[in-house]
Amino acid sequence: MFENRPGRADEIIFVGRSNVGKSTLMREITGHSFDTGSKPGVTRSPNHYDWASDDFMLTDLPGFGFMSGVPEEQREQIKTNIVHYIEDHADDILVGVLVVDGKSAVDIIDRHSGEDEIPYDVEMFYFLRDVGIPVVVAVNKMDKVDDEDERLNELCDRLGLHPPWKQWRDTIAPISAKRGNIDALNEAVKTELHEQKRDDLMKFFS
């Protein structure tokens, strides 16, 4: 299990497949560069960002899905650990940010939708909701997407949210972390924090 959790009360978690841009996003939000390894799959335990003096932190959970050089059995173990971590800390987790790659997310979801297979991103979306954690989907790498509205509508559909995506701006946040364009995510997170009467934490998302 993951045993390096700092003693900070409130937490916002980031989950998503490897290589969707989670580390890039953490850098953009915190303004800090953390050496977390650039190879996909290198991160096998959470990275906790307790850079602020507030009793608060961001947590980058290990990516899963395909990770080169990581055996299937170990991948399953990482997934189990992530699920346990979220269950154990659900009361302290204010928001769950599911990061997806806007260019490939729908294709990957469709490829993994089968008789008894639930695609990871869809499964995680519902799992977070089931344990009572509000979810914001950060749809990253939008700089690579041409048909923005169409892609976002398809993603909504796969997540069980009725299109058009524009009526889900508190849930669907198109961003480009690499370009520093994360306004939509900041707004969605702030909306959620405000609803939970945690305006004190909104300063981290401006």
Cis peptide before 40 (omega within 30 of 0): no
- CA atoms of 11 and 182, how far apart (whole Å): 19
Helix (H, G, I), strand (E, B) or coil at 202: helix
Give the three-state DSSP class for 148.
helix
Task: Please name the residue that has the structure tokens 């961001």.
Answer: 58
How far lies 76's CA from each of 70, 73, 90, 151, 193, in Å?
Answer: 10, 5, 21, 30, 32
Asked whether position 24 contacts ligand GDP by CB under 6 A, the answer is yes
* 156 in Cβ contact with 163 (< 8 Å): yes
Provide the minimum distance between the beta carbon of 18 and Mg ion in the complex, in angstroms, as a whole number: 7
Distance of CA 57 to the CA centre of its chain: 14
C-beta closer to ligand GDP: residue 60 or 193: 60
Of the residues 12, 23, 96, 190, which one makes contact with ligand GDP according to CB under 6 A: 23
Q: Residue 144: which of Mg ion, ligand GDP, none does it interact with, CB under 5 to 8 A by kind?
A: ligand GDP
Residues whose CB falls within 8 Å of the CB of residue 123, separated by 6 or more in sequence, listed in order: none
Candidate residues 5, 13, 15, 18; the one interacting with ligand GDP per rule CB under 6 A? 18
Q: CB of residue 22 vs Mg ion: minimum separation in angstroms? A: 5
According to the binding rule CB under 6 A, does residue 47 interact with ligand GDP?
no
Instruction: Name the residue number minimizing CB distance to ligand GDP.
Output: 21
**Do the beta carbons of residue 139 and residue 175 sit within 8 Å?**
yes
- Give which of Mg ion, ligand GDP, none residue 59 binds (C-beta under 5 to 8 Å, depending on kind): none
Q: Select from 51-59, 66-74, 158-166, 177-185 the region that touches ligand GDP (CB under 6 A).
A: 177-185
Q: How many residues does the chain have?
A: 206
Q: Is 163 in the site for ligand GDP (CB under 6 A)?
A: no
> Between residue 107 and residue 146, which ones bind ligand GDP under the rule CB under 6 A?
140-141, 143-144
The binding site for Mg ion (CB under 5 A) comprises 22-23
Query: What is the contact surface with ligand GDP in residues (CB under 6 A)?
Result: 18-24, 38, 40, 63, 140-141, 143-144, 176-179
